[in-house]
Structure 1
Amino acid sequence: MRDIERVLTEEWAATPADEWITKLDPADGSPVGQIPVVPPRRVVEAVQAARAAAPGWARTSPAQRAAMVHEAARAIEECADDLAWLTTREMGRPVGQAAESVAAGIGTLRQYAELGPLHRGRSLAGEWGATDLMTYQPRGVAAVITPWNDPVAVSCGLIGAALVTGNSVVYKPSERTPATGWLLGRILDGVLPPGVLTTLSGGPTVGALLTEQPVDVIAHVGSSATGRRIAQAAAVTGAALLRENGGKDPLIVDADVDPAWAAEQAATGAFANAGQLCVAVERIYVHERIAGDFLDELTKRAEQFRMGPGWDPETTLGPLVDLALRELVHDQVREAVAAGAELRCGGELPGGPGAFYPPTVLANCAEAMAVLREETFGPVAPVVTVGSFEEALRLADGGDYGLAASVLTGSVAHAQQAWRELDVGTVKVNDVFGGAPGGAAHPRRASGSGFGYGPELLDEFTTVKVVHLAPAPA
């Protein structure tokens, strides 16, 4: 047990609670700790404390708020190794990749600390003797509910944007990474005024109760099913809503690209973080002209991954977050094979402890299969052979999700056609994980709503007021 686990275990043991979350390492089943679940009254009290702190935080100058967020980024940087270690222990991500994710979260906090004081309204052209303004104001109390697959980076983005725009925050991290969320919340709270940020540990019941409270905005990153329930709660309370939810992101491989390079891109997109990314490649449409070579190369690359615990430096593919997710992934693969898909590699449960699942390549998949319709969130690459680029576009544009899509093509005309016609928030051409910092998009359909990144995220946490100032009569 590392020192950070020992320290947190002592803190948790001293916390009174009627219910506990027992978190196990998905690599070997060893205990990470028992985290106390907050009782319902604590959820209510947290929102009340945030409501009481909101006016003072809103009146704090943007420069002062930004300075505190900068200080928070520095404090997180000092604990970066501990946060990366806990991420690996709780959800299995190789520790080097977990460290990169923590660094991304620190960078995002600093980004919003710089952007916050620059967020501005505008003046309007009104009467000569009057002044007309559109001015931004914080919404008030923000409920921030974050996922387990990238617990530090996503949390830092949403919390950072909420804080610099003058909102108080009630933070509910995922019950699948409770220790990581606990530590992150404790670090942030240590540099902020009382009540400005409160962390709630617990499962779906705690999250559901939070969304039913009188908060002003709910920011959620997670599954589409949870997102729909949150949307229903927000419709009752009137809270503004920001959601980035599930995806079933397609990859289109055109006839004119190098199949080996395309397979490398596909393997990166499908198997990074064991497929546990919202923007993972979850279905592949490859032109029949290169399909054979592409499948051979993709299979070869899948077989090169080394499964193992995330804390082993030789590991390139860690476990899934838990056995429950592994069973869901395996069910989709078994159903596809039974329906006629060709299993090129993987697809079998490994022996021994842990929630490991091998990189899996499926050929000859059909649109009726769950592996092409439902979010998988595992290291599975289902491949469909198509006869034309237009057919690939049509198939890629189907389904309930609309988060992102990738296209590999040497044709400028096809690239233009793809980004214009694909009904998704983000289209990536010739680079499955590329993109300039600060990009923000609107997800479609079951994938959510609102800007989740970039300078536009500041707009989600603020509301606009129009002011008309006219002189009094003499």
Structure 2
Amino acid sequence: MTDKPRFDTADPSTGLPGRTYEGHTTDEALAIARDTHVIFDTWRRTSFAERAKLMAAAAGVLRRNQDAFAELMRAEMGKPITEGFAEVEKCAFNCDYFAENAERFLRPEPVDLGGPKAFVTFNPLGTVLAVMPWNFPFWQVFRFAAPNLMAGNTAVLKHASSVPGCALAIESVFREAGFPANVFRTVLIPSRDVKALIDDPHISAVTLTGSVEAGRQVAAAAGAVLKKSVLELGGSDAYLVLADADIEHAAEICATARMVNGGQSCIAGKRFIVVSKVRDAFERAFVAKMKTYAMGDPRDPTTKLGPMQSVAARDNVHAKVQKSIAAGARLLAGGEIPERPGAWYPPTVLSEVKPGMPAYEEEIFGPVAAVIEARDDEDAIRIANASHFGLGSCVLTKDLAKGERIAAEELESGLSFVNENVRSDPRMPFGGVKESGYGRECSQFGIREFVNIKSVHVRQ
């Protein structure tokens, strides 16, 4: 008999061990996939009104359990409690949004062919496997789950191994809301078992949010069995500070962007490309804003910066900072590991960041900002686009027409904002280009990723 895997958790703020969870064997995970496939034929035939009632109930379950779920995120990945509250509410809003709009997004669309009746339908595909990360342990899952369940698909969740409690809690939300058994299931399996699920005929498609390397592996596995995939991968979002920007306001936006989720976000600002004329003024203002993010107890509602997800992750970030400094970057703030237990790292700002440095080339998944100097607007755009990532971007300028043009037409990214930090919203499509992945989540574009877009002709 195959031994069951075990999933250990640890409190990132102290380093002390937390709860241990018993996982599923590969055979058990495949049996769960089979069960979700079996219920699909019934679930796909339910009405939108029936699904919407259940999804609205899920939003209610989230709100009723907001405190418990925020504490679970704090315990497993270190999220400050206030940010946890906001994440749960965002999930609930997402459920409400797709409960209210899914039928409209998937309504058959007539096509005038000047003869036979013709229309396009949007039918569910089957069971979708979701491979999700730890950094937004509730939001990432509900971003996928709400539209897919409303479309009539069923779902299997393989969450990050460090947040097993969150994974099981999410399954309990749908169960408590009254969804039929097996419409949404969680499997606690190691990453090495994901391919077996993708290969399984009971899985119809796969979506992943995670690293570029994980995306390559999932894309290869899905492609080998000709299954649709959507990938939301890493990012090194560029924020362009143009010469005419309001420097204090730009520094505030950039600090907010860099420090979202303690810097552990694919759409956190990471590269701050500043026109040389205003670089010194921006750096002074930016460092002052970054220093307001004091490390503190994530249980304290006033805390703005909690621990990183793990000591290993913190050490990886620190190594990239040290390598960048050794290559010539100038340290303006932070950059030292505090003498305390847990996965702590201070807000860190690097200046004079150049090609070849980790801070220039790689995604640093932590509270580290890279300031890169540009000659002018055109040079800033060139630097922003000279990246293998293409998730989010931002333009900071007083000239709104120019900012809108650069954001809409010039920057190679899936999201581009003007004078505000990049963020996801259920009402707007979310996703990237280049090595940031492909496909879209959220909005009417996201809900149509995992449906069969079918042409129907009827000769009368």
* Structure 2 length-normalised TM: 0.95
Deviation by residue 1:58-83 (Cα, 9 ceiling, x = unmatched): 11111111111111221222211111
Deviation by residue 1:104-159 (Cα, 9 ceiling, x = unmatched): 0011011111112222121222465x432211110111112222111112211211
Structure-2 change in CA distance of 1:442 and 1:317 (3 Å): closer
In the TM superposition, structure 1's runs of 4+ consecutive aligned residues that sit over 6 Å from their partners are none
Residue 330 of structure 1, CA deviation: 0.7
The answer to whether structure 1 residue 230 and structure 2 residue 230 are counterparts is: no
Matched residues, number: 455
Contact 2:7–2:162 at 8 Å: present in 1 too? no
Residue 210 of structure 1, CA deviation: 2.4
**Selected match of 1:77 from 57, 63, 84:** 63
Partner Cα separation in structure 2 for residue 435 and residue 164 of structure 1: 20
Residue 278 of structure 1, CA deviation: 1.1
Structure-2 change in CA distance of 1:345 and 1:275 (3 Å): same
Contact 1:188–1:197 at 8 Å: present in 2 too? yes
Contact 1:393–1:418 at 8 Å: present in 2 too? no
Contact 2:425–2:442 at 8 Å: present in 1 too? no
Secondary structure of 2:118's aligned partner: strand
The answer to whether structure 1 residue 211 and structure 2 residue 198 are counterparts is: yes
The answer to whether structure 1 residue 378 and structure 2 residue 360 are counterparts is: no
**1:344-423 mapped onto 2 (5 Å cutoff):** 344-415=332-403, 416-423=405-412
**1:66-105 mapped onto 2 (5 Å cutoff):** 66-105=52-91
The answer to whether structure 1 residue 124 and structure 2 residue 111 are counterparts is: yes
Q: Which residue of 2 aligns with 1:465?
A: 454
The answer to whether structure 1 residue 28 and structure 2 residue 17 are counterparts is: no
Deviation by residue 1:397-416 (Cα, 9 ceiling, x = unmatched): 11111001011011245311
Q: Which residue of 2 aligns with 1:8?
A: none
Partner Cα separation in structure 1 for residue 312 and residue 281 of structure 2: 35
Partner Cα separation in structure 1 for residue 313 and residue 387 of structure 2: 22
Q: Which residue of 2 aligns with 1:343?
A: 331
Secondary structure of 2:272's aligned partner: strand
**1:284-299 mapped onto 2 (5 Å cutoff):** 284-299=272-287
**Selected match of 2:306 from 311, 318, 329:** 318
**Selected match of 1:445 from 401, 418, 434:** 434
| More moved, 397-406 vs 172-181 | 172-181
Residue 426 of structure 1, CA deviation: 0.8
Partner Cα separation in structure 2 for residue 200 and residue 67 of structure 1: 26
Superposed CA RMSD: 1.7
What residue ranges of structure 2 are gaps of 5+ in the alignment? none
**Selected match of 2:139 from 141, 150, 153:** 153
* Structure 1 length-normalised TM: 0.92
Structure-2 change in CA distance of 1:280 and 1:413 (3 Å): same
Query: Match for 2:441: what amino acid?
Result: G
**Selected match of 2:36 from 35, 50, 59:** 50
Secondary structure of 2:335's aligned partner: coil
What residue ranges of structure 1 are gaps of 5+ in the alignment? 1-15
Query: Match for 1:46: what amino acid?
Result: I
Partner Cα separation in structure 1 for residue 212 and residue 133 of structure 2: 12
Contact 1:282–1:372 at 8 Å: present in 2 too? no
Query: Match for 1:460: what amino acid?
Result: E
Partner Cα separation in structure 2 for residue 169 and residue 413 of structure 1: 43
Partner Cα separation in structure 1 for residue 457 and residue 298 of structure 2: 58
> % of aligned pairs identical?
30
